[in-house]
Structure 1
């Protein structure tokens, strides 16, 4: 290594030595904690005695560290809970020469573990609290915890179900804590108190019955709009828990032995004279924290909007010999454990995939079929012998398709399934293929439109990870279906998503010839290229557009472009055959600007940011120096129409451009909502004169607009709260200074009045918040009015769908094999209305009276099945159905 005059070589040597000195060396405590957490990496049954000795040999003994290791292990590795209960059972043995005063290590750990559990409950960390209850239930079966105290603990959670106005999320989690604790410790609890299991089951059942209307809103198979009856291949989570508990209760919980491993059962229970079971302290589940921070001084009072938690329905994709039935107790344990693993390991999908495929190691022998080529001879358990990979994929997809939205980001589930496929392609691949075929078949049986949209996204993303290889020829016969049938709509959406992830020519070549023709309405003939209306030299306004393009290419100032447009407008107005001049000028300017920005996303952003004054002028907002709000709704609609026409072959870019126009406040969310209902279904429409309807594309535009309005309100509210706190702090300091001033000439009252006044920044923020709240209300109102106009149109409605009212009838659904374009259009629009109400229920509830008056008052006292259905869905979503 070379040497320089500044001593570089010696300095690097010294830095390397310092780095080595700073290397972290694990302390004995850290090594022991790591050993506890890593229990079972090879064979848990063999490792337990060695780990017990390792813990006993620790000197000095660090009980808080041991307890923390147990808590982390139990709450982050739920599949290991029975083995940690066994380890604690081993640690309850006293030393070889015990004294009367000796307290077993296991008891000390358990006492400290309870303190951590109380912390979880106080913080309302429901998942961690539930998994700790699993641990306590196993310890109760092992006779380390008294049955009486576990009974009282479970009753404290069922008490939550009787709270006045308890939210669905809180009640559901409390019911799972009590019900799953009973499921695990049922044999001991029923022996101790024969009536107790019935009390728990009845309490959960009583609450579950109150959720009937909410369940009507969220099943993945919406078989009909009027009477949605859960199918055999779908079940709600609490229904699944209740079915499991009833089945176990009928057998006095003897079947529990076939559901859960109990490695601690090989050890005899302690005699009461040797060790008294630990009595869990009494516990009270704290109430939900309700934030009552109102915004006054001109802003509408509002509590923070919390996401609604609806009942969770899961789809069944495989028969009972492949994956467990919903009412099978072992199946409930398997499914919920898989869901817990998926939930916990969101931060590391690769580790999650590995643990899921290793799950049989932690379950009872014979539960799953052995891997192909495995030399281990496992006797299949009676009624089990399920396929692990199919069970995992079914459970993961069930969580992904939960309505109205999954608990995790969609991309997480997609990535997780991809990682599982990469780890074991030969076994997971067939399970994924069968799942795709089953979901595709469900499209004809009423698969919810939101579930179908997510299915198309997952399908395209999954195909992109595996070379876009799919047997499309299987679906060629379905091209005979009407063009708006859900199966044909799925093909178009999936292929559109695939083109976004690759390019048109590549996807085109993967399709069979029958799907490539324009009459198949499956893939466009050309790629998602821009459609510059004025590019053709024969166009009458080609030259005018070229002049504007030259200004943009020369990076002319926005003021110069505006001046040129004014000149163009005057010239066109003097022409006798000119159409609406203002709309034409806006169209030429917007399409020319988008043409400049069409080369890449960065080109688009640069073009928009450079010519923001031009865009504001085109929208009718006036020069930047003006402070008065204004703008022309017609002008903003023209801008949206021009952008949509330019990108009519690329609907993704339509959504992107609309989002940027809202972001830079060229158009309002309300403008996007209004344009979508009137013109959205003209983009990529398959035929002319289509009735008013919504597809997944229009829903994406609506969702983006509503989310933008809601997000602005949340942001403005945070700013107001921060400024309010700053004002309060300043006011308190000013009053404290006035009170401490001994100068009698100081006017304390004047200082008090001055301190009470809001700061100028807060006044401005409150006005902005009030304005954005109004915008939010208008966006929601406009969306609701649009749905009402689509689904219960008046005789004067534009493009009315004649079947919007009839498709909600039971007889119409039974006749769906004969439905045409209009019927399926109406059915899909009803589905998006349902999704709108359930996804935005907290926001709708804020303005429930105003929105009802504006949108539903015309149905009062009128016999209209569509109006009744609209109001029914609205009432359930806003909590008015009681």
Structure 2
């Protein structure tokens, strides 16, 4: 065949492939193109594009109002920074033109009427973010004189009415209050002249709720004062507090500052002719109640509602002075921070797009809000009292959102990823802002910075360093090596480096540190890389031969029953040895077996899982109290020995301790309650710097173990609850079908029908089994929570701990001692951290604690009846706030 023909064949195949590719292209109809054009409106220059998009909308035929209103809804709820421009566009679509018909409603009014239907759908689903942004849109349209003030007032008051509901939750009230406050901020310039009295009603309603919700705020402050009830916190602002202060400031100026805080591109438009135009009245609404899913599963307190995540007041850390970043208590500052938070929340699905929009944020703000970029013309004329640094503002807001207590809105890794993308987009400007933020946060360590915030700070620092070559000027912190070994700054260094090593390797991280921190006496980084420590590896150590015999069985992949038999023989040998026998041969055998098994699995994570799964029967036998399994279903001492042996084996790599514990709980070798009890009492193997000889206390790592155990117990209950609900629904459906089929054969009127109807329905075997499992897991959950609370009480209670004979088991920080932190030593800093983790326990697990609040309080706090000791009172006060008693 000639080359010509071969070429022709290739060309035909190429043309066919091109045709197939075109067929696979998604067809975009003209209506879709218009909708996308509306959504993309303003991406380049909103002012220049406005008349063009208006013309495009007016000239499109046939008019499909639902398509246009959907475009507006998408744009308003997913691009809130454009809302003022969409209000301007809708205002122009309300204006009559020569080509527009005069005998019907304007195009803008038709779009608004259909837009309302979407808003009502958001409200019915309690989609709070979308609801709030729609209220922004309505408020702008009110100022643009398209919506009547009376209907806008009624809309805002429907949200303040939520604040007066009996037993309204913190989360619901907070969201409703913010909706009303921000709507009034934007619409105030036209609402107050209409009715100053109704403006005050909205403000006073929000203020009254805020004044009544002071107790939860004390538990979520990022800067902690243990013995202070003051709500105002230095370097931190609560969301609803700032909204109210900004709103008060606007009200005092009769909302004159609104124009300098919110864009109003429609402000110069001439008023509509009210003789031919009727203001749009927003329909009245009622904010639907919270949905409580009932599943009929009773708990200790008699509640049968699904456990919901508790929503607390939101405190945001402030890192910089008000001349560098905006003060959120001012109208302009509140607007800027809220705008950045909205972008962070909406674009969580795409961190790169989020970073790009944050860098471009100045073009959606009042000109002069931020310092102009070098050589740039955007926002070139500074506004007095503003001219803030964009990058510092963005980083401060992201970190503030990341450090919200007890839990941030999104995963920490998302906030970390956004900061990384920002650094890549503009390293010369974002990099210095990140460095300043790190130094500001570090300076707060030891000055009351919450322990959970400090943990997240260390995590962010380590991951950020890993993305940029682990380069940091550690020499700045060399003077802090003179601080007490447990000072939060030194604890931060150790934890951050531990995280860095997990993300890289020991030798590389060691080389980034100055000599003072590398030295063993610096107590900053371990002398050797994290790894296993097999106690019986050295032939010179006792029981080396016994351990090797067990290890050889594992290496030869012996059957579990053979290993169990060997361990029994070995135990007898040790008990009858010539040196008088071993006092506790059982504990020694368990230690040898567990460490040998972990040694086999220490090469990789997959090796560990394979070893555990292969020898599950052996592990369950050991956990039952003896190698032969004669001890029953579980033995607390044996399980504690398993955990101790695991911790000892991985004492140089505490991350692996948490992993092994998690796998032991997953395979039900130990229970979450066992891990909780071990963490408070038997954890000497993982206490760094010989802490175990001092008072009983908790470090961040030990909190990780507790959290892992509690999450495991709570997660199992939730899974079991869902399974029961599913099976119960299936049973109900089957009964309904059976009843329906019975009525179809003409026997529905049988005389015995009433008797049969009165018979109690019989659960299916699957449902009966699931209910038993649910009851068992609920008891396990209650036990884990109770054991944790008891542990904290034993650590922090000043007296009445006769059940614990350890004289070093109690730590007391008096109110006077709290104010003298400069003289604190190791024991006081350990106590401070333990108090911090107790607060985190109470606020993080509040929904679960409330289910058992009566029983847990009686069991753990009965010993303090009549006590007036400040520490005992603080323990109970923190508990009462978390469980809704205060």
Say whether the fold is shared (TM-score over 0.5): yes
Aligned-residue offset at 1:520: 1.0
Q: Which residue pairs with 2:193 in the alignment?
A: 191
Contact 1:734-1:755 within 8 A present in 2 as well: no
In 2, Cα distance between equivalents of 1:689 and 1:327: 48
The alignment status of 1:643 with 2:650, answered yes or no, reads no
In 2, Cα distance between equivalents of 1:714 and 1:826: 33
The one-character-per-residue Cα deviations of 1:616-656 (angstroms, maximum 9, x if unpaired) are 01101789999x97211110000000000000001100000
Q: Which residue pairs with 1:760 in the alignment?
A: 765
Q: Which residue pairs with 2:468 in the alignment?
A: 466
Report the more deviating stretch, 331-340 or 94-103: 94-103
Contact 1:735-1:755 within 8 A present in 2 as well: no
In 2, Cα distance between equivalents of 1:610 and 1:14: 55
The one-character-per-residue Cα deviations of 1:315-373 (angstroms, maximum 9, x if unpaired) are 11011110011322100000011001100000001000000010001111110001123
Contact 1:622-1:631 within 8 A present in 2 as well: no
The alignment status of 1:859 with 2:861, answered yes or no, reads no
The one-character-per-residue Cα deviations of 1:58-106 (angstroms, maximum 9, x if unpaired) are 1101110100000000000010000000111111122315554132111
Q: Which residue pairs with 2:400 in the alignment?
A: 398
1:738 to 729, 734, 742: 742
Q: Which residue pairs with 1:223 in the alignment?
A: 225
Query: Helix, strand or coil for the counterpart of 2:647?
Result: helix
Aligned-residue offset at 1:274: 3.0
1:660 to 659, 663, 673: 663
Does the C-alpha gap of structure 1 residues 222 and 801 become closer, same or farther in structure 2, counting only changes over 3 Å? farther
Report the more deviating stretch, 268-277 or 816-825: 268-277
Aligned-residue offset at 1:231: 2.6
In 2, Cα distance between equivalents of 1:148 and 1:255: 22
Does the C-alpha gap of structure 1 residues 737 and 439 become closer, same or farther in structure 2, counting only changes over 3 Å? same
Query: Helix, strand or coil for the counterpart of 1:235?
Result: strand
In 2, Cα distance between equivalents of 1:623 and 1:757: 42
Q: Which residue pairs with 1:410 in the alignment?
A: 412
In 1, Cα distance between equivalents of 2:36 and 2:628: 62
In 1, Cα distance between equivalents of 2:320 and 2:283: 44
Q: Which residue pairs with 1:571 in the alignment?
A: 573
Does the C-alpha gap of structure 1 residues 860 and 280 become closer, same or farther in structure 2, counting only changes over 3 Å? same
Q: Which residue pairs with 2:811 in the alignment?
A: 804
Q: Which residue pairs with 1:250 in the alignment?
A: 252
Query: Helix, strand or coil for the counterpart of 1:598?
Result: coil
Aligned-residue offset at 1:572: 1.0
In 2, Cα distance between equivalents of 1:613 and 1:228: 56
In 1, Cα distance between equivalents of 2:587 and 2:361: 63
Q: Which residue pairs with 2:585 in the alignment?
A: 581
Aligned-residue offset at 1:574: 1.0
* 1:587-736 mapped onto 2 (5 Å cutoff): 587-620=591-624, 630-680=633-683, 682-687=685-690, 689-736=693-740
Q: Which residue pairs with 1:835 in the alignment?
A: 840
Q: Which residue pairs with 1:519 in the alignment?
A: 521
In 2, Cα distance between equivalents of 1:776 and 1:677: 17
Query: Helix, strand or coil for the counterpart of 1:263?
Result: coil
Aligned-residue offset at 1:706: 0.4
The one-character-per-residue Cα deviations of 1:539-575 (angstroms, maximum 9, x if unpaired) are 1211111111111111111111111111111111112
In 1, Cα distance between equivalents of 2:385 and 2:421: 30
Report the more deviating stretch, 447-456 or 25-34: 25-34
2:271 to 241, 246, 269: 269
Query: Helix, strand or coil for the counterpart of 2:237?
Result: strand
* 1:245-324 mapped onto 2 (5 Å cutoff): 245-295=247-297, 302-324=304-326
Calculate the TM-score normalised by the size of structure 2.
0.95
Contact 2:124-2:287 within 8 A present in 1 as well: yes
Q: Which residue pairs with 2:824 in the alignment?
A: 819
Query: Helix, strand or coil for the counterpart of 1:279?
Result: coil
The one-character-per-residue Cα deviations of 1:643-698 (angstroms, maximum 9, x if unpaired) are 00000001100000000000000000000000000133541421251221001001
Query: Helix, strand or coil for the counterpart of 2:445?
Result: helix
In 2, Cα distance between equivalents of 1:827 and 1:298: 32
* 1:203-242 mapped onto 2 (5 Å cutoff): 203-242=205-244
Contact 2:494-2:525 within 8 A present in 1 as well: yes
Does the C-alpha gap of structure 1 residues 32 and 100 become closer, same or farther in structure 2, counting only changes over 3 Å? closer
Contact 1:694-1:832 within 8 A present in 2 as well: yes
In 1, Cα distance between equivalents of 2:567 and 2:13: 66
In 2, Cα distance between equivalents of 1:608 and 1:8: 58
1:57 to 54, 59, 62: 59
Contact 2:371-2:388 within 8 A present in 1 as well: yes
Report how many aligned residue pairs link the two structures: 876
Report the more deviating stretch, 471-480 or 282-291: 282-291
Report the more deviating stretch, 480-489 or 376-385: 376-385
Aligned-residue offset at 1:196: 2.2
Q: Which residue pairs with 1:778 in the alignment?
A: 783
Q: Which residue pairs with 1:133 in the alignment?
A: 135
Does the C-alpha gap of structure 1 residues 661 and 526 become closer, same or farther in structure 2, counting only changes over 3 Å? same
In 2, Cα distance between equivalents of 1:453 and 1:166: 32
Contact 1:226-1:869 within 8 A present in 2 as well: no
In 2, Cα distance between equivalents of 1:745 and 1:256: 74
Contact 1:323-1:390 within 8 A present in 2 as well: yes
Does the C-alpha gap of structure 1 residues 183 and 749 become closer, same or farther in structure 2, counting only changes over 3 Å? closer
1:107 to 95, 106, 109: 109
In 2, Cα distance between equivalents of 1:298 and 1:823: 37
The one-character-per-residue Cα deviations of 1:766-820 (angstroms, maximum 9, x if unpaired) are 1110000000000000000000000015366355558722x241x2122100000
Aligned-residue offset at 1:736: 2.8
Contact 2:214-2:231 within 8 A present in 1 as well: no
Query: Helix, strand or coil for the counterpart of 1:534?
Result: coil
Contact 2:727-2:767 within 8 A present in 1 as well: yes
Aligned-residue offset at 1:853: 1.1
Does the C-alpha gap of structure 1 residues 799 and 346 become closer, same or farther in structure 2, counting only changes over 3 Å? farther
Does the C-alpha gap of structure 1 residues 692 and 268 become closer, same or farther in structure 2, counting only changes over 3 Å? same
Contact 1:225-1:830 within 8 A present in 2 as well: no
Q: Which residue pairs with 2:499 in the alignment?
A: 497
In 2, Cα distance between equivalents of 1:788 and 1:298: 21
Aligned-residue offset at 1:299: 13
Contact 2:640-2:682 within 8 A present in 1 as well: no
Query: Helix, strand or coil for the counterpart of 1:195?
Result: helix
In 1, Cα distance between equivalents of 2:101 and 2:689: 86
In 1, Cα distance between equivalents of 2:250 and 2:420: 36
In 2, Cα distance between equivalents of 1:698 and 1:97: 73
Query: For structure 2, which runs of at least 5 residues remain unmatched after alignment?
Result: none
Query: Helix, strand or coil for the counterpart of 1:164?
Result: coil
Query: Helix, strand or coil for the counterpart of 1:266?
Result: coil
Query: Helix, strand or coil for the counterpart of 1:599?
Result: coil
Contact 1:222-1:228 within 8 A present in 2 as well: no
Does the C-alpha gap of structure 1 residues 764 and 625 become closer, same or farther in structure 2, counting only changes over 3 Å? farther
